[in-house]
């Protein structure tokens, strides 16, 4: 089995190669521009995991302006 790498919002916001902070990433997820999985257990706040493929797709759209 191959499991795809997944990032948390904090990991992405701390990465120097990703253009965005926590609040920006949450807005991208809510706006449908960045695909993420909600892995919370029904808590009040969602807990997101962002697959590497979704991050790559988002960054490619930025590069090409699509």
Beta strands in the chain (DSSP E): 6-7, 37-38, 48-51
Q: What is the pTM of this model?
A: 0.84
Terminal Cα distance for the chain, rounded: 33
- Please identify every stretch of the chain with a pLDDT value under 50, giving residue numbers as ranges: none
Domain boundaries, the chain: 6-64
| Per-residue model confidence (pLDDT) at position 1 | 63
| Per-residue model confidence (pLDDT) at position 47 | 93
Cα-based distances in Å from 22 to 1, 3, 40, 65: 31, 25, 17, 22
| Per-residue model confidence (pLDDT) at position 63 | 73
């Amino acid at each position: 089995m191959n499991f795809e790498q997944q990032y948390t919002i904090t990991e992405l916001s701390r990465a120097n190669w990703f253009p965005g902070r926590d609040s920006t990433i949450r807005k991208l997820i809510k706006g449908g521009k960045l695909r993420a999985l909600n892995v919370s257990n029904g808590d009040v706040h969602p807990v997101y995991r962002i697959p590497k493929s979704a991050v790559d797709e988002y960054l490619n759209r930025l590069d090409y302006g699509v």
